[in-house]
Amino acid sequence: MVFVVSLVVSLALGAWYNSVITEQSARLVEVAQSRARMIEAIAEYDRLDGYNHDRTHADSEKVTLGQVASAHKKFKGFGDTGEFTLAKKEGNKIVFFLKHRHDIEDIPKDVVWGSDVAAPMHKALQGESGLLIGLDYRGVEVIAAYEPVKLLNYGLVAKIDLSEIKKPFIYRAIQLILISITMVTIAALFFMRISTKLLRKIEHDEALIRGVIESAEDLIFAKNLTGQYIFVNRAMECLYNLPKAKILGKTPHEILPESLADNMCLNDGLVLKNIKFNNLECHFLIDGEIETYHTNKSPMVLDNGQISGQIGVSRNVTEQIKTESSLKDAVEKLDYTAQKYQKIFKTAEVSLWDEDFTELCTALEKLKNKGVVDIRKYLNDHLSEAYDLAALIKINDVNDKTLAIYGAKSKEDFFNSVTDTFGEDGIHIFIDEVEALWTGERSFTAKSKQRKVDGSEIHVVISIPLPKDKKLLKNVPVSIVDITERIIFEQKMVEEEKAKAELEFIVNQSPIVAFLWKNKEGWPVEYVSENVSAWGYSKEQFETNKISFSDIIEPRDLKKMSEEIQKYSEKYEDSFTQEYRILTPDGSVRWIDDKTWIRRNAQGEITHYQGICIDITEQKEFERQLWQAQKSESLGNMAGGIAHDFNNMLLPIIALADLTANQLEDNDPIRKRLIKILESGQNAQELVKRLMIFAREEETLLKEVDVNDLLASSFDLLQATIPSSMEITCNLLEKNVNILGSYAQLQSVFINIAKNAADAVQGKNALLDIKTSVVLNNFPLLKSFLKDGKSEKYLHIRMKDNGPGINQKHLARIFDPFFTTKPVGEGTGMGLAMVLSIVSAHHGVITVNSRLNKGTTFDIYLPII
Amino acid sequence: MVKILVIDDEELARFTIREVLESKGYSVLEAGDGEKGIEIFHSEHIDLIITDIIMPKKEGVETIIELRKEAPDLKIIAISGGGRTRNLDFLKLAGEYGANKVIAKPFSATDLLSAVQECLE
């Protein structure tokens, strides 16, 4: 180390010294040459000047020397030892002329030509020019430049003591050597101190690296050129299941089956041609499982570039491959899921909007920081800000259903007109939404009336989940459901409800009673219209099942009705009509016309019957009267037709019997017979008359009739014609009235009714009570029979007997012409028919009521003028 | 002798009336309808005409109107069985158009004779 340092220092100093010497030499040469040329120039001048002054060369030489000496006096030399010397060879001596600085003597002593000293001056005086290191006139080693001064044959030397030049180098050399020794010593000490640690560290590191390599899970190996292992780590031992000693020095083919060995040696040839391979895939069967290894192979290259073998590292990537495979699966699954959700988004039956709330929420945060507390009030007060906030919501995407709902042809079409879809209430719904967001609600739902792209109205429900997590603000799924149909349906429902209520009102105002009864024993009622009150029952009585439908049916009609329903139900008819009677709470009987619909369930079973029932009692009575009238009319027509012929036929019977009888003696037996013929003919004539009255063949002339007078005369007539076994009572009107009528016909009415009563009673205590009164046209028993053109007041004549009564069957036919219960020959059946005809001709009403064993009552009502 | 013309389309009626009238000595002529009756009236001296109302060819009322035009003092008794038509009292109509008496069929011999007598008085 010291040597090296000294060498380096010496070399450095040597080089420096050389350069200094070269530099000094050049300076000396330059100085010597310039001074010599200058002296030559002065000598030349002096010589020329000498020509002008007739001076000799020797004198001129002296002048020149004098000038040089004079100039030289002030010259103090250069450095410590540098000076010029000027000399001339005189004989065998060298004579110096100039005073030199080494104060030995004023002018150096002459030197013997050819001596060792003044070597440079020798050279200069020999006419040479150059540089040398040699002894000067003092015998001191100098470096000197010598130059001849040719005109004067002098020599000039510029010199400096070599010692002066060497002195700093020697000093520096000593200094450097000392420093070097010190440094080397220090370095040696330091090196000594740390080299031990370094060595230990290197050893440790090597052990560590070896340990790492040995214990690495990767297979690490090195093979020589012939493919024999020269290094294997522990993992290789495990792989081969052999100790190192049995692996090293062997090729894989000596250890493994050929196919596996081939696998191991894959591309070995190429590696030895200096090609690196990464991730060569090899497979090994380990414990029955195929394990996959990725091998990196690279050549081992020596310093001289020769390849000595190869190094390989194999890594078991089975797990990695599995992991990658599962990762790939997961990614695929994720991709599938993403696609699935994308598909769901795209094909959802609900309008979905993917919206970005980030900017909106940021803006709301700012408002919060600004001190806004009540956002609703704030936005309502600053509506333009609300619109600005709404514009901050970015719509990322919408699905196909959205386009369908809003009638947009494409997304572009939709986005171009999306602001037109917001309804008039849009901004207020937006404010509600912002408030929900502001107050941290989890979701927001609102109904809104919006517009389609074409401007038509739609009703929608908007649902927005309001995310707490800021990350979710970027994709807020807003769903919009089109409820237009539902709204229209609801409106329709409301209208239908209204219509239903109106219908119910109409039904209740109408004479139609609507029933819905169940197909169960007794027909329990599920619904009945309120107007059932017209029958004297209440809706509630039926609907709380206090009364069932069958309870009100007249018992005589119930069986028939059940059979009818049964019949139509079996026929699978939808509806049928029937007439039946019902009983009212006051005991009266009403006729009902019922149209019944049969309701069935999905299985075809009858669940309900619904009926609309009309009270046709009055209509029935009217029909009866009409039927009566029609019957009477046809009979009248018939009677009119036969009366003429009949009268003609009776003429010979009556007239000839009368004639012949009168021509016979009173006691002639034939005369008696003829009288019987005459009487019988006259009876027939009477019958024809009655028929004609019935047929109104004989015009009824109605005149003003005094009622009390009529009653009085009729009473007298009755007393005369009715058997005395029947007591007749008759009252007169307190206040007499007039009616328009036929005296005779009205009398015949009384007589006919009285005769019937007398025939029926046939016994003692027979009684006929005639009561008369005046009633108004709203008299309960009368009003339902009156038609248009009715009078205000009516004369009511009630004729009541105490006979056996008439059964219902007969009572219904009592006014029929030719209807009689009397034996053949005793009654004509025209009496009451004529009575009805007369009363009708008087624009009156006649009714009959009868109770068995109690008697029969005729009520006659005649209009009062 | 009083001559009475009986106009009736019913042969039986004519026979009956003839029997009754002849029993009291009246001379009786017969006609089956109004036209025939008027023909006889023109050819014979007739004291009294008894005519039915409803007849074929010429109705009784029409016959009465014609006869009355020719012989305002002629005695006419209208007889009718009525019927057939409603609301029209042909007998009453006959009276209004000039029949001296009207009798509804059927009538007794007594009724007819008293009516004839009344007319002839």
| ipTM here | 0.88
Residues paired with residue A589 on neighbouring β-strands, in sequence order = A583
- Per DSSP bridges, beta strands B3-7 and B48-52 are parallel
Q: Give me the pLDDT at residue A859, please.
A: 93
Q: Which residues of A touch B21 (CB under 8 A)?
A: none
First to last CA, chain B: 14
Q: What are phi and psi of A313, to 5 degrees?
A: -130, 125
**CA A138/CA A101 separation, integer angstroms:** 12
Q: What is the pLDDT of residue A546?
A: 92
Which candidate, A831, B70, B67, A433, places its Cα nearest to that of B78?
B67
Query: What pLDDT, on a 0 to 100 scale, did the predictor assign at position A100?
Result: 67
Cα Rg of chain B, angstroms: 13
pLDDT band at A356 (very low <50, low <70, confident <90, very high): very high
What is the average per-residue pLDDT within A632-641?
A: 70
Distance from CA of A762 to the nearest CA of B (A): 34
Sheet of strand A606-615: strand arrangement: A525-528, A512-518, A606-615, A589-600, A575-583
What proportion of chain A, given as a percentage, has pLDDT over 90?
21
Q: Are A839 and A796 in contact (CB under 8 A)?
A: no
Split at pLDDT 50, 70, 90, the class of A827 is low
**Tokens 């028929």 sit at which residue?**
A691
**8 A C-beta contact, residue A300 and residue A222:** yes
Q: How confident is the model at residue A700 (pLDDT cuts 50, 70, 90)?
A: low
Highest mean pLDDT among A82-86, A376-380, A718-722, B95-99: A376-380
Residues of A509-543 as b/e, b for ≥16 C-beta within 10 angstroms?
Answer: eeebbbbbbbbeeebbbbebbbbbeebebbbebbb
Q: Residue A127 region, left (φ>0) first, then alpha (ψ -120 to 50), else beta?
A: left
CB-count exposure of residue A619 (10 Å: 0-12, 13-18, 19+): middle
For residues A455 and A407, what is the distance between their CA atoms, to the nearest angstrom?
10
Residue-level pLDDT at A653: 94
Tell whether A354 is within 8 A of chain B (Cβ): no
Q: How confident is the model at residue B84 (pLDDT cuts 50, 70, 90)?
A: very low
Structure tokens of A241?
Answer: 């299941």
The β-bridge partners of A220 are A313
Residue A405 confidence (pLDDT) above 50: yes
More confident residue, A5 or A743: A743
Give the CA-trace dihedral at A544, A547, A548, A549, to 10 degrees.
-120
CB contact (8 A) between residue A697 and residue B20 = no
Continuous segment of H or E residues that includes residue B29: strand B27-31
Beta partners for A864? A739
Nearest residue in chain A measured CA to CA from B53: A644
Under 8 Å between Cβ of A580 and A554: yes
Do A658 and B84 lie within an 8 Å CB cutoff?
Answer: no
Interfacial residues of B (vs A; Cβ cutoff 8 Å) = 10, 12-13, 15-17, 19-20, 23, 54, 80-87, 89, 104-110, 112
- Using a CB-CB distance cutoff of 8 angstroms, which residues of chain B are in contact with residue A659? 19-20, 23, 109
Strand pairing partners for B104?
Answer: B80
Residues 6+ apart with CB under 8 A from B14: B6, B8, B30, B32
Is A699 within 8 Å of B83 when comparing Cβ atoms? no
Q: Mean pLDDT over residues A236-263, rounded?
A: 86
- In angstroms, the CA A38 to CA B45 distance is 228
DSSP A138: T
* Least confident residue range of A90-94, A102-106, A335-339: A102-106
Q: Is the pLDDT of residue A18 over 60?
A: yes
- A445-483 per-position pLDDT tens digit: 998 888 898 888 899 999 999 888 888 889 899 999 989
Interchain CB contact of A691 with B (< 8 Å)? no
> CB–CB of B34/B60 below 8 Å?
yes
Rounded Cα distance, A134 and A24, in Å: 15
Q: Comparing C-alpha atoms, which of A845, A850, A846, A772 is closest to residue A811?
A: A850
Nearest CA-CA distance, residue A839 and chain B, Å: 18
Report phi then psi at A744, rounded to 5.
-65, -45
Q: Which residues contact A299 (CB under 8 A, 6 or more apart)?
A: A271, A272, A273, A274, A275, A276, A307, A309, A310, A311
The whole-number average pLDDT for the span A299-317 is: 88
Among the partner residues B17, B20, B84, nearest to A640 by beta-carbon distance: B84
Inter-chain residue contact B82 with A696, CB threshold 8 Å: no
Of the two residues A369 and A210, the one the predictor is more confident about is: A369
CB contact under 8 A, B83 and A636: no
Share of residues in chain A with pLDDT > 70 (%): 94
Q: Are the beta carbons of B81 and A647 separated by less than 8 Å? A: yes
pLDDT higher than 80, residue A797: yes
Residue A498's SS3 state is: helix
Which of A53-62, A249-258, A376-385, A556-565 bottoms out in mean pLDDT, i.e. has the lowest? A53-62
Q: Do B13 and A648 touch (CB under 8 A)?
A: yes
Chain B residues in contact with A644 (beta carbon < 8 A): 54, 80-84
Kindly indicate the confidence band of residue B91, based on its pLDDT and cuts at 50, 70 and 90.
low
How far is it, in rounded angstroms, from Cα A582 to Cα A688?
43
Q: How far apart are the first and last CA of chain A?
A: 172
Model confidence band, residue A169 (pLDDT cutoffs 50, 70, 90): confident
Q: Which CATH superfamily is domain B3-120 in?
A: Response regulator (3.40.50.2300)
- A399-412 average pLDDT score: 90
**Mean pLDDT across A625-653:** 77
Mean pLDDT value across residues A64-68 = 82
Cα-based angle A43, A46, A49 (whole degrees, multiple of 5): 150
Q: At what angle do helices A358-370 and A383-391 cross, to 10 degrees?
A: 150
Q: Which residue of B has its CA nearest to A678?
A: B108
* CA-based nearest residue to A539, from A526, A551, A552: A526
Q: Does residue B99 contact residue B119 with C-beta atoms inside 8 Å?
A: no
pLDDT exceeds 70 at position A597: yes
A698 neighbourhood in chain B, CB within 8 Å: 82, 89
* Cα-to-chain-centroid distance, residue A743: 95
Query: How far is CA A236 from its chain centroid?
Result: 62
Residue A170 in this model has a pLDDT that exceeds 90: no
Contact A652 B13 (CB under 8 A): yes
Lowest mean pLDDT among A167-176, A216-225, A331-340, A524-533: A167-176
pLDDT computed for residue A697 by the predictor: 43
SS3 category, A589: strand
**β-pair type (A726-730, A766-776):** parallel
Under the banding of pLDDT at 50, 70 and 90, the label for residue B75 is very high
pLDDT in tens, A502-546: 888 888 888 889 999 999 888 999 999 999 998 999 999 999 999
Mean pLDDT of the A800-815 span: 85
Residues with Cβ within 8 Å of residue A609, at least 6 apart in sequence: A515, A516, A517, A519, A523, A565, A596, A597, A598, A599
A69: burial class by Cβ within 10 Å (0-12, 13-18, 19+)? middle
Residue A798 is predicted with a pLDDT of 93
Listed ranges A47-56, A267-276, A490-499; the one with the highest mean pLDDT: A490-499
Q: Let me know how long chain B is.
A: 121
Please determine, for residue A824, whether its predicted confidence score (pLDDT) is greater than 60: no
pLDDT band at A215 (very low <50, low <70, confident <90, very high): confident
High-pLDDT (> 90) share of chain B, %? 50
Residue with tokens 């997590």: A469
**Averaged pLDDT score across all residues of chain A:** 85
Q: Calculate the alpha carbon distances from B101 to B10, B49, B56, B118 in Å.
A: 20, 11, 22, 9
- Give residue B87's pLDDT band: very low, low, confident or very high (50, 70, 90): very low
Report the number of secondary-structure helices (H) and strands (E) in chain A.
27, 28
Encoded tokens for A635: 């009979």
Does the distance separating the beta carbons of B17 and A655 come in below 8 Å? yes
Say if residue A125 is exposed, middle or buried (CB neighbours under 10 Å; 0-12, 13-18, 19+).
buried
Q: Domain extents for chain B?
A: 3-120
pTM for the full predicted model: 0.34
- The partner residue sitting opposite B83, judged by closest CB among A681, A697, A699, is A697
**What phi and psi, each to the nearest 5 degrees, are found at residue A272?**
-70, -10
Contact A652 B16 (CB under 8 A): yes
